[in-house]
Structure formats: structure tokens, C-alpha cells
């Protein structure tokens, strides 16, 4: 066997163990009864350690060097070898007992978080979260030492290759400066019109589920290779061959759920569009979580919230839900802008501000500048300062997100990297394919989906996010397109 062939075998085993854990993770969110939590935490701990060990044997440095000394001829194989090195650098730096401790702490903390959020009881979460922050810091230090990066950059790099505080800070600073006055203008403009007509429910869950399934299918979600279920915090998990996406339903309002399904379908289409021959190898994975988010936002924010698509949606929603609905009603309900408390419910104009709050605080938590016990107050202050609204409690404050309790630090910027990239990709797709808006009026996403498949999905991790954007649009990450999109959509400017 060639040195490269040996690595392929190890990464295949890594993938099988990791994807097994991903199914158990999905199950924990969508299916598992509460009583299974302890066992599941132990199962996930074991599987993640074994996945880690599959590519963290003591001889890996030597094996990688041997393969790199005689690199494969094929471009995909060479790119795979590079992706292997990055995956290895990210995992080999971390001792397996730390990986296991981190996974166990995060599982327990996530469970505690569910109860803490229900009871608006940060105190009960505090010891768990302190433990998770401490172990996450240790993980970041271990990785950072190996890559010559700060703790934060080392953690962020895992979610988005090449994401750096230094790259993000100016982009986010410009948004922090330019969005608030833009939001003011939008809010003022929307205040001058009458209130959005109310959507009159109840909308039975079974009918909403049928609507979600119909729209996802129309968008190209392949139900022979995936499922749509319910979980408290919607996500898209599973594997490229077997995508598990979730949503949640509110009988009083169907719009968040259907737009959520469209969002997750955007993620799912990325997974389903990854290069089939490579899905079990590092080069066959999505390039990063930010680019992943760009695919969900391309579908949800750019395409589905366009007046054209909302016209189609009003028609099928009226049919499935058995109510009367006009395009105008959906447009007014789907495009309201206001300063609000909950990130996941925020509109696209204020959303980046929520991310900036978290980007600021998570760096302070990791550096130790912000003791975990002071998070609730710091969160309220930052919300007031950046978003312009103060949470009255912790449930709607620092307890609203699962990310930190589950051990994910450096992840939040991905959402805004995604929003920025989605705006860039949609702008160039429209330029190249002027028929897209008329297709959207019929709910057709074929041209846009094929554009995304050709310029994003099929590359897997062959290039990094910035390079993929450069190849697709001629520019790396740049907030111009996002700001122009917001001005055009909300101010007609």
C-alpha cells in the first residue's frame, strides 16, 4: 500500500466513526428520551475518542510526511492529502483524554442547559459552563500551540478554515458601524406603512409538516437520502448520503417553520451536492461552517424571501393549510425588521449585530477577561449597546443559545460569514442567470441550485472558503454585497 493509500484507509475509518456519532447526535436531539442522556454522553465520548484515535496515532506526522514526499498525481488526491493534514493538525494536537473530557462535559452541560433555559436559571448552568469554558480553552491552547495561532483563532479555524480574528474584526466593525443607521432607516420606513396583516391560525402541525415536505422536495431535497423531523433547535445533521434535517412547529404561525425548513434545505442541498466519490474523505466535506451557512442563507434569505418566491409560497401555503394568503401578506410578515431579543428569530438586517455580541463575549470568556459568572450581565449590556435592546431575563439573554453549553466557541461568526457570502453568491448568480427571478415565482430553484452546485458544492474542500468565493465571484469575503442587498430590499435603494 502507498503511504497515501494508508492515510485514505485511516480517514475512511475516521469518517465511519464520526458519522456514526453524528447519527447518535441527531437521535439525541430529535428522538432520544431524556433518560438516555447519560448513556448517550458516554457513547458519544467513546465514538469521538475512537474517531480521534483513527487519525491521531503517534506515527501520523511521519505518515503524512511520507505521503507528501511522493504526492499523488491526481489533483483531487493531492487536495485530499492537504485536507488530511489540516484535519490532523486540528485533532492530533489535542490529547485524547482532553477530547473525551470535553465531550462528556459538553454533553452534561447541554442537558443542564435545557433545564436552565426552561427555568430561567443561569445559576444551575454555571458550574457546567465554567467546566466547558475551561476545557474548551485547553483545547484551543493545544491547537493554537501547534498552529501558531491564538486560542480563539485556533478554535474558529476548526469551524471555518482561515477564519481569523484579524480578518473578521474589520468586516464586523463595518457592519457594527453601518447596520444600526440602516436599521433605523428601515424601521422608520416600515413604521410609515400599516402593520403587517396578521396570519390567522391555528395552523395544524400535520399540515405544516406536509407543506414543509412539499417545499423541500420542490427545492431538490432528496427524501431517499434524508429525513425531516422535529427538534427544539432546528439543524441539519447526518451525512451526505443520509441527511437529517429538523424543524419545529408553532400552531399559531407557520412562517418561521417553513422558512426554517427552507434554510435547512439549503444546508442539505450542500451536503447532497458534495462530490460523491469523496464524501468519506476530508476533501469531500463542506469547506467550512460559514460557507455551509451561505448555502442555507442563499436559499432562505436571498431566494425564498424575495417577493418572487414569496408569491409562490403564498400559493402553496394557502393550498396546504387551507387558508387565504396573498403574496403581499407574506412579504410584509417575512420581511419585518426590528430590534429583538432572540438571535434565531432575528431578521437579516439585525442578525449580524447579534453575532457581533457573541463574537465579543466569547473571546472575553476564553481569555478570562469575562468570568463565566458575569456572563448574564455582560450579555445584557452588550445586547443593549450593539443590538439596541436589553434582555429582561437570562432565558431571552445568555441562555438562548446551545452553542456555548455544547462547547462550540468560535462558531458564531460563521452565521455572518454565511450572510456575507450568500449575498455575494446571489448577486453573481443573478448577473449570470437573469431568468432566476422569474423561476422563483414558480418556486423553481433549479438554476440557482445548479449554480451553487457548480461553484460551491462540487468543490467539497478542494479550495478554502475565500478561494471558492474568489473563483465564483471574483472577490473574497466582502460586505458590500450584503449591505447593497439590504438597502435594495428594504429601502428600494
DSSP states of 418-449 as a string? HHHHHHHHHHHHHHH-TTHHHHHTTT--HHHH
312-333 burial, b at 16+ Cβ within 10 Å, e below that, comes to bbbbbbbebbeeebebebbbbb
E strand intervals along 196-338? 226-230, 236-239, 242-247
CB of 216 to a second copy, least distance (A): 13
Which one of 8, 47, 135, 286 is in contact with a second copy (CB under 8 A)? Answer: 47
Alpha helices in 148-204 (DSSP H): 151-159, 165-191
CB of 220 to a second copy, least distance (A): 14
The H or E element spanning position 15 is helix 3-30
Which one of 100, 130, 178, 241 is in contact with a second copy (CB under 8 A)? Answer: 241
Contact by Cβ (8 Å): 151, 137: yes
Which one of 239, 286, 419, 422 is in contact with a second copy (CB under 8 A)? Answer: 239
**Residue 16 is a binding residue for a second copy (CB under 8 A):** yes
Give the C-alpha separation, 458 to 278, whole Å. 10
Nearer CB in complex with a second copy: 271/300: 271
CB of 485 to a second copy, least distance (A): 35
Nearer CB in complex with a second copy: 31/493: 31
CB of 239 to a second copy, least distance (A): 6
The cell for 451 is 449554480
Give the C-alpha separation, 187 to 311, whole Å. 23
Stretch that binds a second copy, among 14-22, 143-151, 175-183, 340-348 (CB under 8 A): 14-22
**Residue 33 is a binding residue for a second copy (CB under 8 A):** yes
Which one of 36, 72, 119, 476 is in contact with a second copy (CB under 8 A)? Answer: 36
The H or E element spanning position 140 is helix 122-147
Stretch that binds a second copy, among 27-35, 63-71, 136-144, 287-295 (CB under 8 A): 27-35
Please list, in sequence order, all residues whose beta carbon lies within 8 angstroms of the beta carbon of residue 13, skipping any fewer than 6 positions away. 54
CB of 242 to a second copy, least distance (A): 3
**Residue 217 is a binding residue for a second copy (CB under 8 A):** no
Give the C-alpha separation, 259 to 177, whole Å. 28
264 is catalytic: yes
DSSP states of 366-403 as a string? HHTSS-GGGHHHHHHHHIIIIIS---SSSTTTTTS-ST
Stretch that binds a second copy, among 38-46, 389-397, 412-420, 458-466 (CB under 8 A): 38-46
Per-residue contact flags (x/-) with a second copy for residues 168 to 207, judged by CB under 8 A: ----------------------------------------
CB of 230 to a second copy, least distance (A): 13
Residue identified by cell 406603512 is: 193
**Residue 20 is a binding residue for a second copy (CB under 8 A):** yes
Active-site pick, 25, 77, 160, 264: 264
Listed residue (153, 463, 407) closest to 291, CA to CA: 463
Give the C-alpha separation, 474 to 374, whole Å. 44
**Residue 210 is a binding residue for a second copy (CB under 8 A):** no
3-state secondary structure of 35: helix
**Residue 31 is a binding residue for a second copy (CB under 8 A):** yes
Number of continuous H segments (helices) and E segments (strands) in the chain: 20, 3
Contact by Cβ (8 Å): 256, 246: no
Per-residue contact flags (x/-) with a second copy for residues 48 to 77, judged by CB under 8 A: --x---------------------------
Nearer CB in complex with a second copy: 158/271: 271
Nearer CB in complex with a second copy: 31/435: 31
Q: What are phi and psi of 253, to 5 degrees?
A: -150, 120
Nearer CB in complex with a second copy: 68/229: 229
How many amino acids of this chain bind a second copy (CB under 8 A)? 32
**Residue 114 is a binding residue for a second copy (CB under 8 A):** no
Which residues contribute to the site for a second copy (CB under 8 A)? 13, 16-17, 19-20, 23-24, 27, 31-36, 38-40, 42-43, 46-47, 50, 222-227, 238-239, 241-242
Residues designated catalytic: 264
Amino acid at each position: 500500500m502507498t503511504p497515501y493509500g494508508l492515510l485514505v484507509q485511516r480517514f475512511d475509518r475516521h469518517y465511519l466513526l464520526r458519522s456514526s456519532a453524528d447519527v447518535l447526535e441527531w437521535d439525541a436531539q430529535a428522538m432520544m428520551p431524556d433518560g438516555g442522556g447519560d448513556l448517550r454522553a458516554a457513547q458519544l465520548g467513546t465514538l469521538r475518542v475512537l474517531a480521534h484515535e483513527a487519525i491521531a496515532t503517534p506515527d501520523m506526522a511521519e505518515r503524512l510526511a511520507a505521503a507528501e514526499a511522493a504526492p499523488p498525481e491526481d489533483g483531487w488526491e493531492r487536495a485530499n492529502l492537504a485536507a488530511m493534514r489540516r484535519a490532523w493538525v486540528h485533532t492530533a494536537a489535542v490529547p485524547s483524554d482532553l477530547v473525551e473530557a470535553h465531550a462528556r462535559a459538553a454533553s452534561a452541560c447541554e442537558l443542564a442547559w435545557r433545564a436552565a433555559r426552561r427555568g430561567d436559571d443561569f445559576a444551575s448552568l454555571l458550574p457546567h459552563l465554567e467546566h466547558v469554558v475551561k476545557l474548551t480553552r485547553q483545547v484551543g491552547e493545544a491547537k493554537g500551540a501547534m498552529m501558531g495561532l491564538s486560542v480563539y483563532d485556533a478554535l474558529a479555524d476548526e469551524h471555518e478554515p482561515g477564519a481569523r480574528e484579524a480578518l473578521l474584526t474589520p468586516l464586523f466593525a463595518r457592519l457594527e458601524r453601518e447596520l444600526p443607521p440602516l436599521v433605523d432607516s428601515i424601521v422608520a420606513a416600515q413604521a410609515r406603512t400599516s402593520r403587517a396583516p396578521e396570519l390567522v391560525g391555528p395552523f395544524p402541525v400535520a399540515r405544516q409538516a406536509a407543506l414543509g415536505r412539499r417545499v423541500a422536495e420542490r427545492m431538490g431535497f432528496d427524501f431517499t437520502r434524508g429525513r425531516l423531523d422535529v427538534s427544539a433547535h432546528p439543524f441539519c445533521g447526518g451525512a451526505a448520503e443520509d441527511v437529517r434535517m429538523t424543524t419545529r412547529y408553532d400552531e399559531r404561525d407557520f412562517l418561521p417553520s417553513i422558512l426554517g425548513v427552507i434554510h435547512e434545505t439549503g444546508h442539505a442541498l450542500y451536503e447532497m451536492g458534495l462530490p460523491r466519490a469523496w464524501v468519506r474523505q476530508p476533501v469531500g466535506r463542506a469547506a467550512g461552517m460559514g460557507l455551509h451557512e451561505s448555502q442555507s442563507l442563499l436559499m432562505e434569505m436571498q431566494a425564498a424571501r424575495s417577493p418572487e418566491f414569496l408569491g409562490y409560497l403564498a400559493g402553496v401555503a394557502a393550498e396546504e393549510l387551507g387558508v387565504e394568503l396573498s403574496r403581499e401578506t407574506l412579504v410584509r410578515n417575512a420581511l419585518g425588521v426590528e430590534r429583538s431579543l432572540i438571535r434565531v428569530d432575528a431578521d437579516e438586517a439585525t442578525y449580524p449585530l447579534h453575532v457581533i455580541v457573541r463574537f465579543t463575549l466569547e473571546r472575553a470568556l476564553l481569555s478570562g477577561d469575562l468570568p463565566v459568572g458575569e456572563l448574564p450581565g455582560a450579555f445584557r449590556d452588550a445586547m443593549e449597546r450593539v443590538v439596541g435592546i436589553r434582555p429582561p431575563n437570562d432565558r431571552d439573554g445568555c441562555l438562548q443559545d446551545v452553542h456555548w453549553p455544547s462547547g462550540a466557541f468560535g462558531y458564531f461568526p460563521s452565521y455572518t460569514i454565511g450572510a456575507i457570502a450568500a449575498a455575494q453568491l446571489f448577486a453573481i448568480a443573478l448577473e449570470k442567470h437573469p431568468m432566476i427571478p422569474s423561476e422563483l415565482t414558480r418556486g423553481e430553484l433549479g438554476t440557482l441550485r445548479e449554480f451553487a452546485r457548480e461553484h460551491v458544492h462540487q468543490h467539497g474542500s478542494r479550495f478554502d472558503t475565500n478561494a471558492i468565493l474568489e473563483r465564483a465571484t471574483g472577490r473574497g469575503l466582502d460586505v458590500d454585497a450584503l449591505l447593497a442587498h439590504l438597502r435594495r430590499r428594504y429601502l428600494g435603494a
